[in-house]
Amino acid sequence: MQKWVNLLLLAALAIGCKAPEAPVVKGMENMRVVQLAADSIFLDVQLRINNPNRFAIKVLEAEARCLAGQQHIGQARLAAAFDLPAAADTLLPVQLHLSTRYLLSNSLNLLLNPAPLPYQLEGTVLAAAKGIRKRIPLLQAGQISRQQLKQMLDN
């Protein structure tokens, strides 16, 4: 009998000490041009993030390189520290700083090609939960349609 009690306690301890799962980036939404400069475009966007854990996570900082194909086109940075509620999707505000050099050199292709523009974000997120801080890789790949580009420029 004592063996079964010990096994149950061990199983409960193992389940309770399960390592937190990394939040999942599900997509990019609500892009808006904030500032245009000669060499840069500044955008505010929202990343849809899912926290699969049964506890909230605080995102303290996030930085990522922005890529179009394999070409580096800018940087992304978290606008402020943010809480991710447990087992839920959240829109996380992010600031993008993109080089106009890429956009200008590819503008004709962007205008004439109906295919969506592929993008990637590669970086890290510093998160905290239950008194533990951890740097988590951030990898997001997706596509921006011409309609989304048009809406972004219209805002």
In this structure, is residue 24 part of a structural domain?
yes
Question: pTM here?
Answer: 0.75
For the chain, the domain total comes to 1
- Asked if residue 86 is part of any domain, the answer here is yes
Report the pLDDT averaged over residues 40-66: 93
Domain that holds residue 108: 20-154
Mean pLDDT of the chain: 83
Find the CATH number of the domain harbouring 59. 2.60.40.10
Q: Is residue 79 part of a domain?
A: yes
Question: Per the domain annotation, does 7 fall within a domain?
Answer: no
For residue 60, pLDDT over 50 is answered with yes
Confidence category of residue 22, pLDDT binned at 50, 70, 90: confident
Which tokens belong to 131? Answer: 């008194």
Residue 7 has pLDDT above 50, yes or no: no
- Nearest-CA neighbor of 121 among 28, 22, 21? 28
Q: Output the CA torsion 96→97→98→101 (10° steps).
A: 170
